[in-house]
């Protein structure tokens, strides 16, 4: 025990000059400094003993953080600009001792990292990340944290990719790591595309878009062609003019901007999870968050083609196969009619693919699951009040066809709970499909006769029911 006391005394003696300065600059009174010394002595003796835990270090760090915050508040109020000793160095010292002793506790490492980032000690953060990943290479969350720091604080795509790729070498079975890496590449493409638009490097400028979209804009204007140095006879050769220029079309069509990297990441991820099409749909959702990118459509088409080849009769695959043409399209889009026709064709093809499943009951339930998702997807467009009547007619016919499959599945007790059926019935009632609700309600009550929400649907309004269900 003497050894532990000597160690604690040694650490306490190192803080004596700091305490003397607090008294000299009148930041704390002698009694307050004595209280600080006693508190530190309790912590140091506890940490030097054999029974110390990670929580003891965490409480010590919390005390020092509060003390440093109080010191800075008093210094600001008294007009003391700077002190020779700061709490930052002592907190770093305690956290360094904590991570050395309990190097397996990731919560201490995260506490260390968050404090260093808050103090903007970037060199310290880099050192902590290196030591942390060396000791915990199999933790996907730590690799994601390191990549997030490199991207958010340093804006270094090479370093960020390095963390992600090294993390995937150690954690190749982490679905979250694959998803975050794919999202990173899409964010980078979005950032490059935004820069190109700001700099006017896109083949179609905003001025051209406004002229093309307007009908009579610019008809009363007299336009002059651009005057070049050659027209004036002053063909001055500069360094920029002598440098060979790369056509903008080639720059825009480079593999990086065309989505080659996200496609490669998706293919590599699916090799790790070849029999999990549901994970493929999760990656699909990551790309669907960027509908404004030109390459997103190409990437989504590649994903759907891969999933259809790997699991053509899977419910998740077929639902996303149907949804893909509608990604990023709003009800007012001029591309919606063509996309809806493709959705109709894909829905019919999906119903045919289900025929490969064994058993008529399984086929009926799978068709019902696909139809439920299709109704939810199409119903969102009916909420647009100025929707074209022809488009509304197509959506109505599609929803009625899908609901027929849902009813067949309901009679086989396809849904495991009443929640999905209640949600669909509410959607149908909210959009005026009252003739479809009654058969579904009758079939649902035969399966769940005591369900309070189904019983309430016989009299309550759909809006009230939807609020109650949520």
Tens-digit pLDDT string for the chain (470 aa): 456 678 888 888 888 888 888 888 888 889 999 999 999 999 998 888 888 899 999 999 999 999 999 998 888 888 877 666 678 889 999 999 999 999 999 999 999 999 999 999 999 999 999 999 999 999 999 999 999 999 999 889 999 999 999 999 999 999 999 999 999 999 999 999 888 888 877 654 443 343 334 444 344 444 434 444 444 444 444 444 444 444 445 555 688 888 899 999 999 999 999 888 899 999 999 999 999 898 999 999 999 999 999 988 899 999 999 999 999 999 888 999 999 999 999 999 999 888 877 778 888 888 999 999 999 999 999 988 888 999 999 999 999 999 999 888 888 876 667 888 888 888 888 888 888 888 888 888 888 888 888 888 876 544 444 444 44
In this prediction the pTM is 0.78
* Nearest C-alpha neighbor of 323 from the set 338, 302, 351, 304: 304
Distance between CA atoms of 157 and 149, rounded to whole angstroms?
11
pLDDT value, residue 39: 93
Distance between CA atoms of 453 and 431, rounded to whole angstroms?
19
- Other CB atoms closer than 10 Å to residue 245's CB: what's the count? 7
Q: Which residues contact 466 (CB under 8 A, 6 or more apart)?
A: 426, 430
* Nearest C-alpha neighbor of 380 from the set 297, 334, 323: 323
Q: Which residues contact 63 (CB under 8 A, 6 or more apart)?
A: 39, 43
**Token digits for 127?**
């050192």
Distance between CA atoms of 26 and 41, rounded to whole angstroms?
22
Q: Which residues contact 336 (CB under 8 A, 6 or more apart)?
A: 326, 329, 330, 381, 391
25-34 burial code (b ≥16 CB/10 A, e <16): eebbeeeebe
Distance between CA atoms of 367 and 322, rounded to whole angstroms?
13
DSSP state of 417: S
Q: Taking a C-beta distance cutoff of 8 angstroms, is the pair 372, 424 a contact?
A: yes
Spacing of C-alpha 127 from chain mean position: 27
pLDDT value, residue 256: 80
């Amino acid at each position: 025990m003497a050894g532990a006391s000597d160690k604690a005394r040694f650490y306490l003696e190192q803080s004596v000059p700091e305490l003397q300065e607090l008294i000299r600059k009148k930041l704390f009174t002698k009694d307050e400094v004595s209280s600080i010394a006693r508190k530190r002595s309790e912590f140091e003796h506890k940490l030097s003993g054999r029974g110390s835990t990670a929580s003891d270090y965490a409480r010590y760090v919390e005390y020092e953080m509060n003390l440093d915050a109080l010191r800075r508040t008093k210094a600001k109020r008294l007009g003391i600009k700077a002190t020779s000793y700061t709490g930052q160095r002592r907190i770093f010292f305690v956290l360094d001792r904590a991570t050395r002793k309990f190097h397996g506790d990731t919560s201490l490492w995260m506490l260390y990292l968050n404090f260093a980032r808050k103090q903007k000690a970037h060199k310290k953060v880099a050192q902590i990340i290196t030591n942390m990943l060396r000791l915990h290479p199999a933790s996907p969350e730590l690799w994601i944290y390191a990549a997030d720091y490199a991207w958010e604080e340093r804006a270094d795509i090479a370093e960020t990719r390095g963390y992600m790729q090294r993390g995937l070498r150690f954690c190749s079975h982490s679905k979250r790591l694959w998803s975050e890496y794919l999202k990173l590449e899409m964010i980078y493409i979005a950032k490059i595309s935004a820069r190109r638009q700001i700099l006017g490097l896109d083949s179609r400028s905003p001025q051209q878009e406004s002229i093309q979209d307007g009908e009579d804009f610019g008809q009363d204007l007299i336009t002059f062609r651009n005057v070049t140095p050659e027209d004036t006879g002053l063909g001055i050769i500069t360094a920029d003019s002598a440098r060979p220029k790369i056509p903008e079309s080639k720059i825009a069509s480079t593999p990086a901007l065309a989505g080659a990297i996200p496609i490669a990441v998706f293919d590599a991820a699916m090799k790790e999870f070849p029999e999990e099409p549901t994970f493929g749909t999760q990656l699909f959702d990551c790309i669907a968050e960027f509908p404004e990118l030109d390459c997103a459509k190409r990437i989504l088409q590649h994903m759907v083609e891969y999933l259809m080849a790997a699991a053509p009769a899977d419910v998740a695959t077929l639902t996303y196969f149907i949804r893909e043409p509608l990604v990023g399209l709003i009800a007012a889009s001029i591309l919606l009619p063509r996309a809806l026709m493709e959705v109709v064709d894909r829905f019919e093809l999906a119903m045919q693919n289900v025929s490969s499943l064994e058993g008529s009951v399984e086929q009926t339930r799978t068709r019902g699951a696909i139809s439920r998702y299709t109704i939810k997807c199409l119903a969102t467009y009916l909420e647009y009040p100025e929707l074209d009547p022809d488009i509304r007619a197509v959506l109505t016919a599609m929803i009625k066809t899908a609901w027929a499959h849902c009813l067949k599945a309901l009679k086989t007790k396809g849904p495991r709970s009443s929640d999905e059926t209640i949600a669909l019935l509410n959607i149908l009632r909210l959009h005026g499909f009252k003739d479809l609700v009654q058969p579904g309600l009758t079939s649902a009550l035969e399966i769940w006769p005591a369900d309070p929400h189904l019983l309430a649907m016989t009299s309550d309004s759909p809006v009230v029911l939807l609020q109650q269900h949520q």
